[in-house]
Amino acid sequence: MGLDITAYSNLKHVGKHEKDTTKNEGEPGGFDDWCYYDNHVQAFAYDTFPQSFRGIPVLGTRTSYGSTFLEGGCFEITDATESHGFRAGSYTGYGQWRADLQEQFNPERHPDGPFYELIWFADNEGSIGPDAARDLLADFERNAATYRSPEGWGQAGRDKYADWTRAFRLAADGGLVRFH
């Protein structure tokens, strides 16, 4: 298991659908992917990460398995939508990569510091909105020349940096980044 990322540009917000309560959470029709079959992307994030959700309207909250989530509703994939998917790594590997990014650029995890919206975000699921993506894109572009791949990662760390840069470039253009 690991963390997969899909970034989208040019999405159309369609709002909140009524959940099909005949389905269990995590199954088609459940909380995790009930819009997927309609060519929609469901936007949600843990309520402890509102700064990363910026640009996605908060339509409500939902509690599931003891966690509270911000609900942004569904976004429709349009003819202008571009997407980029990649594997961020195993949960451990992604955590190491992200910790290294924090150590290099924002060791105090300051909210106004570089990469904050990614450093202080869930490592398993959720959505980063277009406003946060613009800030993250600026951070990735501004720090590309000084970024050092984590010890022992070599080109793989630089490739992850490039994937994240592309993801935030897309999301900044009316889209979002989905962690799944």
The Cα–Cα gap between 121 and 111 comes to: 12
Mean pLDDT of 135-146: 98
* Residue 35 C-beta-side C-alpha neighbours within 13 Å: 18
Mean pLDDT of 61-85: 94
Confidence check: pLDDT of 29 > 70: no
Chain-centroid distance, C-alpha 96: 17
CA atoms within 13 A on the CB side of 43: 31
Asked which of 25-34, 65-74, 103-112 is least confident by mean pLDDT, the reply is 25-34
Enter the pTM of the model.
0.89
- Summarize pLDDT for 78-121 with one digit per residue, the tens: 999 999 999 999 999 999 999 999 999 999 999 999 999 999 99
